[in-house]
Amino acid sequence: MYRKLSMVLFPLSTLALVGTAVWGYNQQQQKNEVMVRGENQYQRAFHDLSFHVEKLHTELGNTLALNSTSSDSYRKGLVNVWRLTSEAQSEVNQLPLALLPFNKTEEFLSKVAKFSYQTSVRDLTQKPLTDGEVKTLSTLYQHSKDITKDLRGVQDKVIANNLRWMDVQTALGNNTEPNDNTIINGFKTVDKKVGEYTDLKEGPFTMSTQAKYSAKMLDGNDISEQEVRQKAADFLGVNNPAAFQVVKNGNGGSEYESYTCTLPGGKNGADLSMDFTKKGGQLIYYLNPRDVKSAKLNVEQSRGAAEQFLERHGYKNMTAVSFDRHQNICNMTFARQDQDTVVYPEKLVVNVALDDGQIIGLQGTDYVFANRKHPLLGQEPKISAEEARKHLSPNLKVTRQTKALIMNDMNEEVLCHEFIGTMNGQIYRIYVNGENGVEEKVETIRQEDIQEAK
Query: Over 80: is that where the pLDDT of 143 sits?
Result: yes
Question: Model confidence over 104-124: pLDDT tens digits?
Answer: 777 788 888 888 888 887 777
* Bridge partner residues of 426 (DSSP): 423
Query: In the chain, count of helices (H) and strands (E)?
Result: 12, 12
The answer regarding whether domain 385-453 maps to CATH 3.30.70 reads no
- Phi, psi of 163, rounded to the nearest 5 degrees: -75, 150
- Delimit the domains of the chain by residue range: 19-209, 225-369, 385-453
Query: Over 90: is that where the pLDDT of 311 sits?
Result: yes
Per-residue pLDDT, 452: 47
Per-residue pLDDT, 52: 86
- For residues 47 and 50, what is the distance between their CA atoms, to the nearest angstrom? 5
Per-residue pLDDT, 217: 74
Residue 336 — very low, low, confident or very high, per pLDDT cuts 50/70/90?
Answer: very high
Question: Model confidence over 381-434: pLDDT tens digits?
Answer: 999 999 999 989 888 999 999 999 998 877 789 999 999 999 888 888 999 999
Percent of the chain with pLDDT over 70: 74
Residue 24 — very low, low, confident or very high, per pLDDT cuts 50/70/90?
Answer: low
Question: Model confidence over 73-82: pLDDT tens digits?
Answer: 888 888 888 8
Per-residue pLDDT, 79: 85
- The mean pLDDT value for 326-335 works out to 89
Q: What is the DSSP annotation of 11-50?
A: HHHHHHHHHHHHHHHHHHHHHHHHHHHHHHHHHHHHHHHH
Could you tell me if residue 224 is left (phi over 0), alpha (psi between -120 and 50 degrees) or otherwise beta? Answer: beta
Closest CA to 276 of 244, 240, 229, 316: 229
Could you tell me if residue 335 is left (phi over 0), alpha (psi between -120 and 50 degrees) or otherwise beta? Answer: beta
- For residues 89 and 273, what is the distance between their CA atoms, to the nearest angstrom? 36
Question: Model confidence over 211-268: pLDDT tens digits?
Answer: 456 667 788 889 999 999 999 999 998 888 999 999 888 665 445 788 899 888 655 5
Query: Over 50: is that where the pLDDT of 179 sits?
Result: no
User: Taking the model in full, what pTM does it have?
Assistant: 0.62
Residue 18 — very low, low, confident or very high, per pLDDT cuts 50/70/90?
Answer: low
Half-sphere exposure of 245 (CA within 13 A, CB side): 8
- The mean pLDDT value for 280-305 works out to 90
Strands 283-287 and 426-433: unpaired
Per-residue pLDDT, 46: 77
Per-residue pLDDT, 453: 44
- For residues 422 and 384, what is the distance between their CA atoms, to the nearest angstrom? 21
Mean pLDDT of the chain: 79
Residue 347 · residue 339 · CB < 8 Å: no
Per-residue pLDDT, 102: 65
Query: Over 50: is that where the pLDDT of 64 sits?
Result: yes
